[in-house]
């Protein structure tokens, strides 16, 4: 048995290619949900700005007698508050759905790679190979690698989500007030 040495970049590229090959549908769903979830904070910033602007405008004209009646008489303020609540509810729902899809993605990747390892070990012609320390070490390293593959997916998705949250929020914040 010959062990092939590969660089960390090659291992990363092969791991990503395996993920794309095994779970394209789940990966697409996670990406779409991450994009949708990434829009939530930017929308929340804009809605909070609108709420603060409207409350500041109302306080500047000195109308603070009946707060509930005042809020109900201001359609922009009322819709901004309702929109803020809705954005938070939708963001939480998207996060829960995304967690469910990610767990499906993780399980399918783990099952596929585990199956590949079992299939490879099952094709060994000589049982004496199992008594060699090099093979046992390689099988153990493979098991550890299989367990780390879903973690790689989680880190990639988290990085993607961070980008989709950070960039729109920063651009919106800069456009509102530098």
Q: What is the pLDDT of residue 3?
A: 66
**Rounded mean pLDDT of the chain?**
82
pLDDT tens for each residue of 69-92 = 777 788 898 999 999 999 999 999
pLDDT for 26 beyond 70: yes
Smallest Cα–Cα separation from 26: which of 109, 105, 106, 111? 105
pLDDT for 175 beyond 60: yes
What is d(CA 162, CA 164) in angstroms, rounded to the nearest whole number?
5
- Mean pLDDT in residue range 59-73: 75
pLDDT for 141 beyond 90: no
**Joined tokens for residue 93:** 């729902």
Q: What is the pLDDT of residue 6?
A: 80
pLDDT for 64 beyond 70: no
What is d(CA 122, CA 101) in angstroms, rounded to the nearest whole number?
31
């Amino acid at each position: 048995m010959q062990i092939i040495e590969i660089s960390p970049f090659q291992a990363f590229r092969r791991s990503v290619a395996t993920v794309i090959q095994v779970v394209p549908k789940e990966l697409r769903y996670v990406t779409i949900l991450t994009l949708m979830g990434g829009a939530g904070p930017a929308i929340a910033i804009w809605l909070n700005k609108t709420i603060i602007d409207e409350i500041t405008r109302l306080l500047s004209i000195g109308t603070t007698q009946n707060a509930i009646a005042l809020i109900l008489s201001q359609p922009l303020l009322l819709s901004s508050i309702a929109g803020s609540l809705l954005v938070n509810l939708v963001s939480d729902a998207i996060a829960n759905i995304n967690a469910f899809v990610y767990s499906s993605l993780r399980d399918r990747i783990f099952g596929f790679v585990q199956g590949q390892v079992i299939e490879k070990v099952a094709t060994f012609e000589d049982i004496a190979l199992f008594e060699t320390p090099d093979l046992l070490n390689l099988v153990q390293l493979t098991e550890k690698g299989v367990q780390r593959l879903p973690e790689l997916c989680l880190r990639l998705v988290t990085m993607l989500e961070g980008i989709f949250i950070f960039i729109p929020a920063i651009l919106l914040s800069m456009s509102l007030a530098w």
